Amino acid sequence: MLASLLISPILGFVLSLLLFRLIKLVVHDKHLYEPPEKEVPPVWWMRGILILTCTGVSFAHGTNDGQKSIGLIMLTIIGLMPAAYALNMTMSGDQLAADAKGMSVAASLIERYGDDQKALGVMAARKLGEAFGAARQATDIPEAERPAVRNDLNRVVAELTTVGEAKDASKDEKASAKAIHEDLMKSVQYAPWWVRILSALCLGAGTMIGYKRIVTTLGEKLGKQHLAPAQGAAAELVAAALIGGAGFSGFPVSTTHVVTGGITGTMVGSGAGIQPSTLWQIGTAWILTLPATILLSGGLFYLLS
């Protein structure tokens, strides 16, 4: 999964460079390849293209980064109101019955191929079978028991993942573990409609407030000349495609990394060149971010525990 974070900026660089050169071969308006004069917008049809490509990047960014903000909001409301949000209350009776039926199979698989926590996993599977079997709908599960049911779900899901990776398990057993795993995830991996809207509002507000420094760096300081309209269109089109594809396929990528790679590619493709100092600062920030967050989160967890 981490490979996509490393590969996506390189893909953005290469594809944007190629697309920019293709545009230059097809469209021969020299104004599209020159840095814009201050306060003078590009020609109307190029403005339309830039609006469309920028909208595409925004939509793709939402499909990718929206997962993170939705997850954080869900963690918060589950922690504050576990009885209401620990489980997906929209689960149908048929889904509960299917999950209850699958718990006997899950317990058997975990008992044979689970890790050192398999005893707890088997016990959790049996408890889930009883809880789901006694409920005709999700709201029948008592509020006080819902956090415990979620904990049992998480334990069973973790053990089923271990079963799916076990060398001794047969192909059919792994497929069965995967199917039960996917069914169980529907019970805990969900987001109410208002959480999705709140996530979109937060992402939009954050972009509107904090965009200026990033835009200035990428548009004016990354290359040796100001970003030209055709360069912006090529970089945004490639970024929208890569980020959108990653969002729908589940691969993690960084919008800023992909867009930076795309703009760098267009600068190289145009012959304008890049500013090494800015690229060095961006690269250093990328490299240091991951270990810094690991150390900070690990340190905070240690102190709080």
pLDDT in tens, 71-129: 889 989 988 998 888 888 888 888 888 888 889 999 999 999 988 889 999 999 999 99
Residue 4 has pLDDT above 80, yes or no: no
Tokens 């390849």, residue located: 33
Predicted confidence band at 298 (pLDDT cuts at 50, 70, 90)? Answer: very high
CA of residue 285 relative to chain centroid, distance: 20
User: Token pair of 297, please?
Assistant: 């989160």
Tell me: pLDDT of 16 over 90: yes
Count of CA atoms in the C-beta half-sphere (13 A) of 40: 9
Q: pLDDT band for 194, please (50, 70, 90 cuts).
A: very high
Q: What is the mean pLDDT of residues 128-145?
A: 88
Q: How far apart are CA 106 and CA 120, in angstroms?
A: 12
Measured CA to CA in angstroms, residue 227 lies from 3, 34, 52, 64, 211 at distances of 29, 8, 17, 25, 16
Task: Determine the pLDDT at residue 249.
Answer: 79
Give me the mean pLDDT over the 44-72 stretch.
Answer: 85
- Residue pair 16/238 in contact by the 8 Å Cβ criterion: yes
- What sign for the dihedral angle of Cα 224, 225, 227, 228? negative
Look at residue 1 in the predicted model and tell me its pLDDT.
59
CA distances in angstroms from 59 to 6, 209, 243, 247, listed in the order given: 22, 18, 9, 10
Residue 82's pLDDT is 86
CA–CA separation, 111 vs 123, rounded Å? Answer: 10
pLDDT number for residue 208: 82
Q: What string of H, E and C letters represents the secondary structure of 264-281?
A: HHHHHHHCCCECHHHHHH
Would you state the pLDDT for residue 234?
Answer: 92
Q: Please give the pLDDT value at position 297.
A: 92
**Per-residue pLDDT tens over the stretch 17-48:** 999 999 999 988 888 888 777 767 777 888 88
The answer to whether residue 64 scores a pLDDT higher than 90 is: no
pLDDT of the residue at 20: 93
